[in-house]
Chains A and B, each alone.
Chain A
Amino acid sequence: MKYAVKTQGLTKRYKTALAVDDVNLAIPEGVCCGFLGKNGAGKTTTLKMLVGLKRPTNGSISIMGQEQSFGTQVQMPFGYLPDVPSFYGYMTGAEFLDLCGKLCHMPTPQRKARVKELLKQVGLDRTRTRINGYSRGMKQRLGIAQAMINSPPVIFMDEPVSALDPIGRRDVVDIIQSFKNTTVIFSTHILADVENLCDYILIIEKGKILAHDYMANLKERHSQGSAKIRFYTPQDAATFKSHTAQHFTADNQANPLELLLHSTSGNMQELSHHVTALLQTHSLAMEYFGAHTPHLEDIFYEVIGK
């Protein structure tokens, strides 16, 4: 498997705190990776080390197979969108993208065409005002465009949607969804966006990576031994719950007809047998019984232990 980003023992230590602790990553090429963690967990520090804005205390970084050496890179194999992107307000969006293209050493004809194409892609092609007059959402879209200017194989985004209103957020999500053949790594607090967009998940807590895997694998791992059952009446659900004992536990759900079951052995087949036996013993009728697929939010809370 080819990896877009690999780190070995990546560590960032400040005078009084360990911000990132021995992080070993291997993010496959072409995935959309959601980087999750609480405030202060180490997401921004990790991203800044990956893009060369912070010097790691220890460890190595490789992007698209190219070892990154802090402070010496002049050609970056990635794009970067900071959490609050700032621009030169006296420029127009096209001028700013042109400046970024020049810094990436793009030849003039290619650069001009790319600027036009990107402005259209992020919906700023009809905007003639200088960046000073842009809304926050427009600035975020321009930020994404500058990160994509030289068509990098990897794009890092730090909280690209957190500060936006619902429409601005939807616009940015649509743009991220439109990326083709690009590895996208973005940090966010909005788990629903990650669930919709991402196929790979990183969870960081207190500077340590607690989970990194494909979303499908995480969901499968965290669904083992869990099932959902739905009854026709709330009374049946209550009776069923009152008789669950040593083999599985049952938690109430928002819907009073539903229960979430967890096998104590983690074995789905065993759980199924016990449920069938209990239903027959108490003559309870159920409408639905099936494996429970957890939401990303459930996995996140479980992983960070909340």
Chain B
Amino acid sequence: MKLSVSKWCTFAGKEITENLRSKNIFALACVFIFLALLSVLTARFMGEIMDWALSIEGGAGLMMEIPDPVWTDSYVQLYSNLTSMGMLAFVMIYMGAILREKRSGTIDLMMAKGLTPTVFVVAKYAVAVAVSILALVVTVLITYVYTLVLFEYGGNIGHVLLGAVPFGVFMIMMLGITIMWSAIAKSTAMSAVLGLVSFFLFIPLDLIPWIGRFTPGRLLGHGVSLSVGVGAGNYLGIQIAVAIVVTIVALWIAIQVLRKREG
């Protein structure tokens, strides 16, 4: 047990180095900082943007009633952008996490040094989660500060950070699923497609009567309400629990795939 923990720490350290040197962290940081700034700017200047769009040729004569922007619009835009572009960035960055090592053969060298599939998968996943949570927290804080600057009020910082929790849980579930596909897929493209299909499958699941309210896809809708201090409804706990179970199952499958590969 002690030796496994030591191997886990060593391999997780290697993963951190890899994230830093492969610029994964910087790519993710750039995408998320861009999304934070874009969200607040879009919220603040939506009226002006629409006026400009309508004034150009072809839009003349059209009238549109746009309400005055308020600080909560920043969080509406943020979670909308994170759900689309942010999730795409996660899948793209981590779709090859295990696949690359399988294809290059580095996994064989590591396993021949006594690294088990469990340590291998869990270390990769843990570092991906740490990097992603860091990116999410930084994004939310930038959004808060920039909202404060442009709207002169950014909401309650505690609520804003709490608002990131449901999205964060969904995100770490998606990371687990992405890692699983990365262990199963034969190519990076296949891993990316499977990751994105899995993500888009959670959206229609929401619509299933009665069951829909317990599905993790609903977590994506709580970011705004929690950020502005409104509750998240009665089923948040169950949705988080389901997301955790899905994550554990996904990681277990990834480990079994690597074990089977050895056999």
Are A73 and B262 closer than 8 Å at their CB atoms? no
Contacts A55-B263, A74-B4, A90-B18 hold; do A104 and B113 have CB atoms under 8 A apart? yes
Instruction: Determine the chain A residues whose CB is within 8 A of the CB of B18 once the complex forms.
Output: 88, 90
Q: In the docked arrangement, what's the CA distance between A251 and B213, Å?
A: 87
Residue A227 CB within 8 A of the other chain = no
| Chain A, residue nearest B101 (CB) | A86
A-contact bits for B106-118, CB 8 A (1 contact / 0 none): 1011111111100
Interface of chain A residues 64 through 92 with chain B (CB within 8 A): 70-71, 73-76, 80, 82, 84-88, 90-91
Shortest Cβ distance from residue A127 to the other chain B in the assembled complex, whole angstroms? 18
Are B17 and A85 closer than 8 Å at their CB atoms? no
Contacts A51-B112, A88-B18, A100-B113 hold; do A105 and B6 have CB atoms under 8 A apart? yes
Residue B3 CB within 8 A of the other chain = yes
Are A88 and B262 closer than 8 Å at their CB atoms? no
Instruction: Determine the chain B residues whose CB is within 8 A of the CB of A74 once the complex forms.
Output: 3-4, 7, 114, 116
Q: In the docked arrangement, what's the CA distance between A51 and B111, Å?
A: 9
Instruction: Determine the chain A residues whose CB is within 8 A of the CB of B7 once the complex forms.
Output: 74, 103
Shortest Cβ distance from residue A86 to the other chain B in the assembled complex, whole angstroms? 4
| Chain B, residue nearest A54 (CB) | B262
Number of chain B residues whose Cβ lies closer than 8 Å to a Cβ of chain A: 27
Contacts A74-B4, A82-B105 hold; do A54 and B113 have CB atoms under 8 A apart? no
Shortest Cβ distance from residue A77 to the other chain B in the assembled complex, whole angstroms? 10
Q: In the docked arrangement, what's the CA distance between A55 and B21, Å?
A: 34
Residue A52 CB within 8 A of the other chain = yes
- By secondary structure, the A interface counts as loop
A-contact bits for B7-24, CB 8 A (1 contact / 0 none): 100110110011001100
Are A82 and B114 closer than 8 Å at their CB atoms? no
Are A54 and B108 closer than 8 Å at their CB atoms? no
| Chain B, residue nearest A14 (CB) | B263
Residue B186 CB within 8 A of the other chain = no
- Give the residue of A70, A86, A104 whose beta carbon is less than 8 angstroms from that of B106: A86
Query: How many contacts A-B (CB < 8 Å)?
Result: 70
Q: In the docked arrangement, what's the CA distance between A5 and B109, Å?
A: 20
Are A90 and B111 closer than 8 Å at their CB atoms? no
Residue A146 CB within 8 A of the other chain = yes
Are A86 and B105 closer than 8 Å at their CB atoms? yes
Which has the most chain A C-beta neighbours within 10 Å: B6, B18, B113, B114?
Answer: B113
Residue A102 CB within 8 A of the other chain = yes
Shortest Cβ distance from residue A57 to the other chain B in the assembled complex, whole angstroms? 9
Contacts A53-B111, A76-B112, A91-B17 hold; do A71 and B259 have CB atoms under 8 A apart? yes
Instruction: Determine the chain B residues whose CB is within 8 A of the CB of A99 once the complex forms.
Output: 10, 14
- Give the residue of A71, A73, A90, A146 whose beta carbon is less than 8 angstroms from that of B109: A146
- Give the residue of B106, B108, B114 whose beta carbon is less than 8 angstroms from that of A103: B114
Contacts A55-B262, A74-B3 hold; do A80 and B112 have CB atoms under 8 A apart? yes
Interface of chain B residues 223 through 263 with chain A (CB within 8 A): 259, 262-263
Q: In the docked arrangement, what's the CA distance between A146 and B109, Å?
A: 9
Residue B104 CB within 8 A of the other chain = yes
| Chain B, residue nearest A78 (CB) | B112
Shortest Cβ distance from residue A15 to the other chain B in the assembled complex, whole angstroms? 12
Instruction: Determine the chain A residues whose CB is within 8 A of the CB of B262 once the complex forms.
Output: 52-55, 70-71
Shortest Cβ distance from residue B57 to the other chain A in the assembled complex, whole angstroms? 51
- Give the residue of B6, B10, B14, B116 whose beta carbon is less than 8 angstroms from that of A88: B14
Q: In the docked arrangement, what's the CA distance between A53 and B21, Å?
A: 29
Other than the given A74-B3, A76-B114, A85-B105, 5 more pairs (CB < 8 A) read A51-B112, A84-B105, A87-B109, A103-B11, A103-B110
Which residues of B does A touch, CB under 8 Å? 3-4, 6-7, 10-11, 13-14, 17-18, 21-22, 104-106, 108-116, 259, 262-263
Closest 6 CB pairs of A and B: A55-B263, A86-B104, A103-B113, A90-B21, A86-B105, A80-B112
16 pairs of residues in contact across A and B, judged by CB atoms under 8 Å:
A53-B262, A74-B116, A75-B3, A82-B108, A82-B109, A82-B112, A86-B109, A88-B106, A90-B21, A99-B14, A102-B6, A103-B11, A103-B114, A103-B115, A105-B3, A146-B109
